[in-house]
Each structure stands twice: as C-alpha cells, then as structure tokens.
Amino acid sequence: MDRRGAPFPPALAAVAERAEHRVGALLDAQRATWTPIDPRLAAPIDALAELVGAGGKRIRPALCAVSYAGVGGPGGLEADEVVAAGAALELLHTFALVHDDVMDGSETRRGVDAIHRAFVRRHEELDWHGESRRFGEGMAILVGDIAYVLADVLLRDAPHAVHQLWDDLRLELCIGQSLDLIGAAEATYELDLAQRIVSYKSAKYTVERPLHVGAVLAGADDAVIAALSEVGLPLGQAFQLRDDELGVFGDEVVTGKPVGDDLREGKPTPMLALAHERAGRVPGAERVLALVGRRDLSEREVKEIQDVLVDTGALTAVEDEIERLVTLAIDAIGRAPLEASATGLLTDLARYIAWRDH
C-alpha cells in the first residue's frame, strides 16, 4: 500500500513553530551581541538562521514534546523547558546537516545552497585571497560549531539526567557518521554494517533519544524510558530507510536535495546492501552497482542504478521492512504508559515519519 505523502500531524505544528521561534530569538540575540564588535560576524549567524528558516521536518522537537506531555510533564506541549529542549534538538540537527554537507560535498540543502557552497560563492564573487573551497568549508564548519554550542546553551538549565542523555545522543550521532564515512570509503555494502549505521546515525538520534529527553524532563522512570525505546528504535530505523529511499528515488523539488547524491557518495545503505546480495540474479546488475560511489555519475547512470534497485527487489524489500518496523513501533506505542492524547499524536507522527515524501 502506497501511503507516501502522509501529513505532519496538525496538532504538532505549533510545537514545531515554538521550537523554530526559540531558535530564531536566540540567533537574533547572538547577532545583536556580535555585530557591534564587527559587522562581518553577522555572516555566519545569518547563514545559520537562513538554513533553519529554509524548512525542515521538526520531527525531533515534536517527539520530545509528545513524550514530555505523554508522561504528564507540567505545561504539556507548551512547557518552556520542552520548547527549549526541542529548539536544542533542532540546532543540534542543523549542526549535523552543515557538517554532513561538507563531508559529502553536497551542493544544496532544503532547496538552497549548502552553507559551504554559499561561502565559496561569496569568496569567488568578492575575489578574496586564498582558496575559495577551503574558505567555504572552513566557514561552514564554524557555522555548524556555532549551532552545536548554542544547542548546549538552550539546555543549560536542564536536569543532570537530561545532560547525560544529551551526551549519549551526541556521541551516538558522531559514531554513526564515522561509520558512514568509513563504509563509503571502503565501498563496503554489507547489510550488518548498513544496519549499524542506521541505528547509530539516525534511529537513536532522530527518534529514540528525543523521546527519552522529553520523558526525562518530565521525570519519567526507567520503565517508561524502556517502553519508549521499544517505540523509538524501530521507528528511527524506518525513518532512515525512508530517507535512503528518498535520496535515490525522491522528487528533488520536494526533498530539496539532488536525487542521486547518495549514490555518488557511495553511502552504504541497507537498500544498496540488499541489491549487492541479489545482484547475481539480475544480468548486468553487478556492473551497474560498481558505478556507485563515482562523483561524476550521469543522470542516465543514476537511472540505471535505480532500475537495478527495483529489479533486484531491494526497493520492495526496504518498503516491506519500513511497514514491519512501523507496525512494531505503533504496537509499542499502544503498550507504552502514555496519556491517551499523546498516544494518538505519537501514532500519527509515526505514520508521517514512515510515509513522508521529503
């Protein structure tokens, strides 16, 4: 059943807006602090603000707020502490995106120039000294670092238990990204490695840990945290599998990133691992899959790889796995000790995560 294009739950739209507003207010304050010292310091802050304002799914703030409200956090979805935590999650995500685009050499993000590309262009247009690529990448790294530090600022008043979770979340993200880079460099398309990357780079960081942060803010005990892991891990895996699929088959206008970039980067995804396992059954598939990881892949070659992913059954297998994982997550939501209103919101959010189109 094709359920793609599932909407973001309307009841959680306000959560996303509050997180975005909190980030915007913080960046406005930073701009007001630093630009009187030197007007040139507006550039990295404005670049960060532009990326945050260019869109994004705001899944992490929504998950954090739902779990907080679901275990009876005072103030519910509108509580100031959960708005701050959601904004921190969004800034940490922005840090990861900016650095990821540098590592991958991506040209665009959310339909606009990736930050390193924007600074490369500025360097070239102003005919500055030095190498434009190094300047652009250096500035982007610093923009990401600013986002990373400001995320911590937003969590300054959070309880110690939240900071322990925050440390775990950040380390897991970096470990997952490290595995992703190593796997791409090795051109290793083994299913167990691909699944490990999914777990650490995305499942924990995108779904499980945001659920934990919200619940711990509300004073949840270990039993609640364990129940939320039963939701978060399969749902986070489904999130990344959908992300992988959109990176190869999505609509560039909708996703905001060129289709085929993941193939040019040679990302070791479960879908590619499955295709490699089954390539011997499809004439010519091994030759086509050997093209993955070439930076100069043409549109025709991207289409050939897409066809192999279909013909080997890898795409169908991933779709079936998303269905299985979301079913597990929704069943776990039903068992979790959450308030009924939060159960409904989390179920709707799970469907959006699994069948979104961007």
Q: pLDDT tens digits for 37-76?
A: 999 999 999 999 999 988 777 899 999 999 999 999 999 9
- Give Cβ neighbours of residue 193 (< 8 Å, ≥ 6 apart): 179, 183, 268, 273
Residue 328 inside a domain? The answer is yes
Dist CA 229 CA 358 (whole Å): 25
The mean pLDDT value for 157-162 works out to 96
Judged by DSSP in three states, 38 sits in coil
User: What is the band of 3 on the pLDDT scale with cuts at 50, 70, 90?
Assistant: low
The pLDDT mean for the chain works out to: 92
Report the percentage of the chain scoring pLDDT > 70. Answer: 97
| For residue 166, pLDDT beyond 60 | yes
The structural domain count of the chain equals: 1
**Cα–Cα distance list, 314 to 124, 271, 332 (Å):** 43, 6, 27
Instruction: Reply yes or no on whether the pLDDT at 319 is more than 70.
Output: yes
Asked if 157 contacts 83 with a C-beta cutoff of 8 angstroms, the reply is: no
Residue 1 lies in a domain: no
Output phi, psi for 108, to 5 deg: -130, 160
Cα maximum dimension of the chain:
65
Cβ neighbors of 314 (< 8 A, separation 6 or more) are 271, 272, 274, 275, 278, 308
Residues 6+ apart with CB under 8 A from 26: 87, 150, 153, 154
CATH number at residue 137: 1.10.600.10
What is the domain extent for residue 101?
Answer: 10-355
Answer whether residue 253 is part of any domain.
Answer: yes
Q: Is residue 57 part of a domain?
A: yes
How many residues appear in the chain? Answer: 358
Least confident range from 106-120, 147-161, 162-176, 310-324: namely: 106-120
Instruction: Give the model confidence (pLDDT) of 192-243 as tens digits.
Output: 999 999 898 888 999 999 999 999 999 999 999 999 999 999 999 999 999 8
pLDDT value of position 340: 93
pTM: 0.93
Mean per-residue pLDDT for 96-117?
89
Element (H, E) at 88: helix 80-104
d(CA 98, CA 108): 11
> What's the pLDDT at 349?
94
Long-range contacts of 339-343 (CB under 8 A, 24+ apart): 339/69, 339/70, 339/71, 339/72, 341/69, 341/70, 342/66, 342/67, 342/69, 342/70, 343/70
Which residue spans within 18-154 are E strands per DSSP? 108-109, 112-113
**Is residue 4 included in any domain, yes or no?**
no
pLDDT at 1: 44
